[in-house]
C-alpha cells in the first residue's frame, strides 16, 4: 500500500526492539509504548510497520486518544494510529459513554465506534445492548441492530426492538426510536407497535406505523 | 664450542623462525611493503609496531574488510593487533560497504574479531549511520554490536538504546535496553 502521509512522527519505546529496515518492520517487546500526536498505546508486545504506519499491539493494551480510552487484549492500529480495531474484552470509554464488546472498531478522526457483535453501550440515560452497536460519539447518538434492549433505571424504562436509535442531543430532548417489534414499558405502562418514539425527558411515548397497543397500569 | 652449545643454538634458531612463520603464514595478508620494524630494547617484552599501514582481510579473492590506522601494535605472541585512530571498511556481499571510524581497535588475528573503543561511527553506503562508545565486529556471525548508548539513523528513522546488534549492512538490528524508535513525520 502506498505510504500514508506521516503527519507527526511515531515514537516507539520498549525494552527490546528488533528492526528490519528493508521491510520497515519493528518488533518490540517489554513495556511497549507507541506515541503519535495525541495517540498513546501501551502493551506488552508490538509489531509496527513504518512503511504502512500500521501496527498490532498485544498484552494488556491501553490506547488513549484525546478523551477516548480503549483497553483490550489486542489492538490493531491503522491510518497513523487514528483507526483502531480492538479485540478481547474491549472497553471504550469516551466522555460519559462506555462501550464494551468482544471487538470494537474506533475512528478517532470521525469519533465513530462500531461493535459488530454482542455490543453494549452505557449512556447517561441508560444502557443499550444489541447484536451490533454503532456509536456516533461526537453527536451523542447510538444505533443498535438486532435484539436491541434498552434499560433506563433513571427513566424507569425497559424497551426492546429489532433496531433502536438513541439521540442524546439536543440536551433536554433526548429520545429513543424503536423499530420493528417495538415494545416499551415505562412506569408499568406497556406500549407495543411497529415504531415507537420515547421522549426520555418529557416522559412521553408515541407510536407510528402499523397497529400499536397501550396497556395502562393504574397506580 | 662443545656439542651442547651447537645444539642449543640450533634450537633457538628453530624457535625464532617457527614463531615468525606462525605469525606470517595466516590471513590477514600483511602488505609486502612492511615498513622498518622499530625494535624496542631487547630485554623488555618486545612489541612490533606498524605505523600508517593497513590490514586487509580477503576471502576467495574478495576483500572482506580493511583496516587503516595511525599506529598499529602487535603483541609478542602475534595474537592481538591494537590499532589507534582506526578507519575500517567492511565490504558487503551485495556490493555495498560500511565505513567505520573509532579511537581504538583490537584485532584478534585468530578469530578476526575486532573490538572497537571510543567515538565509534559506522556509515553504510545506503546512508545508515550508527554510533556507539564501545563496539565489536564478529567475524563468525558477520555482525556489529555496540554498547554504552547507541544511535542508528536511517532515513527518517532514528533508533536509540543501550545495546545494539546489527548485520553488516546495518539493515537488520536488535536494540536492547531503553530501546526507542522515532520514525515518520519528515514530509
What's the rounded Cα separation, in Å, for the pair A139 and A174? Answer: 12
- Per the listing, cell 575486532 goes with B114
What's the rounded Cα separation, in Å, for the pair A147 and A127? Answer: 14
**β-bridge partners, A93:** A69, A98
What's the rounded Cα separation, in Å, for the pair A216 and A190? Answer: 7
Q: Interface pTM (ipTM) of the complex?
A: 0.81
DSSP summary character for residue B128: -
Report the residue from A9, A10, A19 with minimal CB separation from B173.
A19
Interface check for B159 against chain A (CB to CB < 8 A): the answer is: yes
What pLDDT, on a 0 to 100 scale, did the predictor assign at position B52? Answer: 53
Coil, strand or helix at A88: strand
What pLDDT, on a 0 to 100 scale, did the predictor assign at position B20? Answer: 53
- Per the listing, cell 573503543 goes with B117
Cα→Cα distances B67→A17, A169, B50, B144, Å: 31, 74, 12, 15
- Which has the closest alpha carbon to B164: B175, B179, B151? B175
Interface check for A201 against chain B (CB to CB < 8 A): the answer is: no
Cell of residue A206, nine digits: 408515541
Interface test with B, best of A4, A16, A19, A23 (most B CBs within 10 A): A19
Average pLDDT over residues A176-200: 91
What pLDDT, on a 0 to 100 scale, did the predictor assign at position B39? Answer: 43
pLDDT cut 90: percent of chain B above it: 46
Residues in A 30-49 with any Cβ partner in B closer than 8 A: 36
Average pLDDT over residues B53-79: 85
Is pTM beyond 0.90 here? Answer: no
Q: Is the pLDDT of residue B119 over 90?
A: yes
Query: Does A122 or B39 have the greater pLDDT score?
Result: A122
E-assigned strand segments in chain A: 10-20, 25-36, 39-49, 54-65, 68-78, 83-94, 97-107, 112-115, 119-123, 126-130, 132-136, 141-152, 157-167, 175-186, 189-199, 204-208, 213-215
Compute the count of residue pairs across chains A and B with CB atoms less than 8 Å apart: 83
Tell if the CB–CB gap between A21 and B171 is shorter than 8 Å: yes
Cell of residue A48, nine digits: 509496527
Locate all alpha helices (DSSP H) within chain B, ordered by sequence.
Answer: 3-24
pLDDT, chain A, mean: 91
Report the residue from A9, A17, A22 with minimal CB separation from B171.
A22
Interface check for A21 against chain B (CB to CB < 8 A): the answer is: yes
Q: Is the pLDDT of residue B48 over 60?
A: no
Q: What is the secondary structure of A51-77 as a DSSP string? A: TTTEEEEEEEEEEEETTEEEEEEEEEE
Average pLDDT over residues B21-41: 47
Report the residue from B171, B177, B183 with minimal CB separation from A9.
B183
Beta strand A213-215 pairing with A189-199: antiparallel
**Could you tell me the end-to-end alpha-carbon distance of chain A, in angstroms, rounded to an integer?**
65
Amino acid at each position: 500500500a502506498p505510504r500514508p502521509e506521516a503527519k507527526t512522527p511515531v515514537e516507539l519505546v520498549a525494552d527490546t526492539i528488533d528492526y528490519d529496515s528493508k521491510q520497515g518492520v519493528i518488533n518490540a517487546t517489554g513495556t511497549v509504548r507507541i506515541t503519535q500526536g495525541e495517540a498513546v498505546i501501551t502493551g506488552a508486545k508490538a509489531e509496527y510497520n513504518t512503511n504502512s504506519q500500521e501496527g498490532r499491539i498485544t498484552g494488556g493494551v491501553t490506547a488513549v486518544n484525546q478523551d477516548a480510552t480503549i483497553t483490550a487484549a489486542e489492538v490493531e492500529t491503522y491510518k497513523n494510529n487514528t483507526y483502531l480495531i480492538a479485540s478481547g474484552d474491549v472497553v471504550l470509554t469516551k466522555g460519559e459513554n462506555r462501550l464494551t464488546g468482544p471487538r470494537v472498531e474506533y475512528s478517532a478522526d470521525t469519533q465513530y465506534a462500531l461493535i459488530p457483535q454482542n455490543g453494549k453501550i452505557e449512556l447517561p440515560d441508560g444502557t443499550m445492548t444489541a447484536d451490533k452497536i454503532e456509536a456516533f460519539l461526537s453527536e451523542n447518538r447510538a444505533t443498535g441492530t438486532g435484539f436491541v434492549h434498552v434499560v433506563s433505571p433513571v427513566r424507569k424504562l425497559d424497551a426492546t426492538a429489532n433496531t433502536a436509535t438513541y439521540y442524546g442531543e439536543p440536551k433536554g430532548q433526548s429520545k429513543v426510536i424503536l423499530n420493528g417489534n417495538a415494545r416499551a414499558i415505562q412506569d408499568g405502562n406497556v406500549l407495543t407497535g411497529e415504531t415507537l418514539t420515547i421522549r426520555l425527558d418529557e416522559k412521553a411515548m408515541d407510536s407510528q406505523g402499523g397497529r400499536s397497543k397501550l396497556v395502562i397500569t393504574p397506580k | 664450542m662443545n656439542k651442547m652449545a651447537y645444539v642449543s643454538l640450533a634450537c633457538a634458531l628453530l624457535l625464532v623462525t617457527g614463531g615468525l612463520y606462525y605469525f606470517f603464514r595466516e590471513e590477514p595478508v600483511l602488505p609486502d611493503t612492511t615498513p622498518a620494524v622499530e625494535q624496542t630494547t631487547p630485554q623488555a617484552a618486545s612489541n612490533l609496531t606498524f605505523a600508517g599501514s593497513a590490514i586487509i582481510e580477503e576471502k576467495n579473492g574478495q576483500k572482506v574488510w580493511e583496516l587503516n590506522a595511525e599506529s598499529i601494535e602487535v603483541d609478542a605472541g602475534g595474537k592481538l593487533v591494537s590499532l589507534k585512530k582506526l578507519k575500517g571498511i567492511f565490504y558487503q556481499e551485495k556490493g555495498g560497504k560500511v565505513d567505520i571510524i573509532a579511537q581504538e581497535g583490537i584485532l584478534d588475528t585468530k578469530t578476526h574479531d575486532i573490538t572497537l573503543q571510543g567515538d565509534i561511527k559506522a556509515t553504510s553506503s545506503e546512508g545508515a549511520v550508527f554510533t556507539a562508545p564501545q563496539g565489536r565486529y564478529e567475524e563468525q556471525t558477520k555482525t556489529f554490536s555496540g554498547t554504552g548508548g547507541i544511535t542508528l539513523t536511517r532515513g527518517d528513522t532514528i533508533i536509540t538504546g543501550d545495546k545494539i546488534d546489527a548485520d553488516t549492512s546495518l539493515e537488520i538490528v536488535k536494540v536492547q535496553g531503553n530501546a526507542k524508535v522515532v520514525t515518520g513525520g519528515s514530509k
